[in-house]
Structure 1
């Protein structure tokens, strides 16, 4: 690797580290912060988490209409993060949910497009993305892990820290990091639009509606709707795991949740082996089943003798995410032709992080509210068994209606 290529790889790795440090630095503990600092109800917490889904739904407009056609990707990335720093600071200062919600909604509408922008900047600078990108993207996972470790090391997420309102400092920390990445983005290699500014653009182009033709294939349609359904229990993990762990008294909860991201790296390396040996159907089923097992472990685990159950449940994140979402992206890519590859991936993202998780966040708020006791604690066993049962149902439907097929996977 030339010194110039190494230099670009380092710069892109720093970008990825900051990007996911920012996301992991507040989103993991958001549920705990809302309950302890803003006295938000379970329904209000679901509203806050749903902003991620609204951001995912709106993101294609920002990327397709603006980023892909008029301005350099690195400049838009910088502007979005600088505005995000201001919004994060306003979230840090908010004293009640009514003041907090407009800022988190605006922030997520601006943040979700940055996930595509950091990929765009990276792909355009790499000479062989299939071999180089994973080595850069892993620094994003490292950033998410370190954010969790920092929060636990400072005891912001301890029971005492949460009760004293220290979780609000996660927003101040992220505001500073967002400002740093905003400024840093303007130093990244130039990534201009690749399309003719005068080219006519339609709503269909922006949303990638041409990819809808893939649903005519029965197997892909089963996969598509199963993806939406499995994202409903997925939302429970993001929304209520941290409040759950803090409420039952687990120490260093946020740091321990980072085990899930470490697991993600490990199983990412094992994914080609599973796809080759077991095929796409069984690999996807492994991912679905892992969600059910995880939630059963959460239902019956505790912070004392049952801590091992909680830790295994967290560690299953690698199988849950990689074996379903990453293998699903590979399957989608294999079904889409060159013309609609990007559109197909965008359609899956909109359906899962957008529609599926939007329903899931609402359901998590309703169900956790249903099992809230008079003293404010929750009957967690009942809460976790519901998404566990739903995951099993999706597992059964997918196993019956999806027919196995060979999917090419290019290993480095």
Structure 2
């Protein structure tokens, strides 16, 4: 891969995830400040659900339209410029129901660009296995920089988060048109079933994979609590620079991901997934008992555990899915796993987390201890289910 190409792809990844990190982390905090309704936590859950719905829709868009008829970099440019307009419009909406549709519209524009950016990167690499992680890490850096910027400017509760995201979206939209040309694929077999990865349903005939697949959907419920309410929780209990501090979770993610291939081959998939689920339990217990006094270390522990929570379950899950699927249906299997987790699982989780948070509203804010124990109990339930029923052949667990 040429140096100039690598630099272009790194900038693309940086901006791609900077945009997402600039508005997504603080969305619940922003809504609580600017959208005045009695059941605001339910509305926050709905807003995060919009992104999950878009995740379920985007495979059809990419697989049936973008991949077949348009150069990937041009399609990405149009979507990001359109997304910038919607992000700016979000600052003018104060009705909760209208705001949901604005977030949904933006998410439908944004989510396909993740697959498009990956496609652009892969098609211009000489050795994707070695080169992609070094390019993708700039996306994590972008998310971290967004968190530090939002906190440093003191705008976590301000509509300026959307303005900054919109400006970055325009920048990436324009930059996309000078990215390396990535023409449409000649033959994608663009059926709805193939776009969604339906052919990968054959994997669910394998009992071990079916048990894992159900666990993956269920663990998205605890995940939804973190995405939707962690920033609001930290701000409400008085933590300064909450968005910046939450970026330590991305630092942790970047560090732990380096250990995944080594541990996957050493200790096997079941132990990896169990460690991931244990981390979910520990995180929410830490949040339940943490405070901005002597319990501050518990808040930081809960944030830093993000790397273990995410990498040891979801990254390991993608690796396990790839090994189970084999070369023929590998892409379809990854698409199905994403649809089930970040689509279906997050739709269930975001709706449920909003309902739970709204159930524990108090006069001074929320009974956060009771709220955080709910995802902890769910994670315990999923862990017990997984330990009891998951049985995998040793060659899959240890296979390089």
The question of a shared fold, defined as TM-score above 0.5 by the shorter chain, is answered with: yes
Q: Deviation string for 1:215-271 (max 9, x for gaps)?
A: 000001011111000011110000000000000000010000000000001101111
Shift in Å at residue 207 of structure 1? 1.5
Residue from 363, 367, 372 that aligns with 1:379: 367
The CA RMSD over aligned residues, in Å, is: 1.4
> Shift in Å at residue 406 of structure 1?
3.4
Aligned to 1:32: 29
| Mapped partners of 2:201, 2:262: distance in 1 | 30
Contact 1:288 1:395 in 2 (8 A): yes
Q: Equivalent residue for 1:399?
A: 387
Q: Deviations over 1:262-293 (max 9, x none)?
A: 00011011112221221111001101110010
| 3-state SS, counterpart of residue 39 of structure 1 | coil
Structure 1 residue aligned with 2:182: 191
Quote how far apart the aligned CAs of 1:396 are: 0.9
Q: Take 1:129 and 1:53, find their aligned partners in 2: how far apart are those partners?
A: 28
Aligned to 2:167: 176
1:389 aligns with 2:377: yes
Moved beyond 4 Å, runs of 4+: 408-411
Q: Which moved more, 1:85-94 or 1:134-143?
A: 85-94
Match for 1:223 among 212, 229, 240? 212
- Work out the CA distance in 2 between the residues paired with 1:224 and 1:101: 29
Paired residues of 1:29 and 1:243 also in contact (CA < 8 A): yes
How many residue pairs get matched?
397
Structure 1 residue corresponding to 2:327, chosen from 311, 321, 338 = 338
> C-alpha separation between the residues in 2 aligned to 1:410 and 1:171?
45
| Distance across 2 between alignment mates of 1:227 and 1:217 | 15
CA distance in 2, matches of 1:22, 1:62: 21
Q: Is the 8 A contact 2:47 2:103 kept in 1?
A: yes
Going from structure 1 to structure 2, the CA distance change for 1:258 and 1:384 (only over 3 Å counts) comes to same
Answer yes or no: is the 8 Å Cα contact 2:84–2:165 preserved in 1.
yes
Inter-partner Cα distance in structure 2 for 1:113 and 1:367: 30
1:16 aligned to 2:21?
no
SS in 2 for 1:338: coil
**Structure 1, residues 3-25: CA drift from partner, whole Å, max 9, x if none?**
x6111111000000000000000
Is the alpha carbon distance of 1:334 and 1:200 closer, same or farther for their aligned partners in structure 2, counting shifts above 3 Å?
Answer: closer
CA contact (8 A) 1:72 1:190 kept: yes
SS in 1 for 2:24: coil
Question: For 1:91-122, what per-residue CA distance to the aligned partner results, in whole angstroms no more than 9, with x for missing partners?
Answer: 12223324422211100011111111110000
Residue of 271, 282, 288 corresponding to 1:299: 288
Cα distance in 2 for residues equivalent to 1:307 and 1:89: 35
- Counterpart Cα distance in 1 of 2:131 and 2:166: 30
Alpha-carbon separation, structure 1, partners of 2:328 and 2:98: 44
Residues in 2 aligned to 1:344 and 1:278: alpha-carbon distance in whole angstroms? 24
TM-score, normalised on structure 1? Answer: 0.94
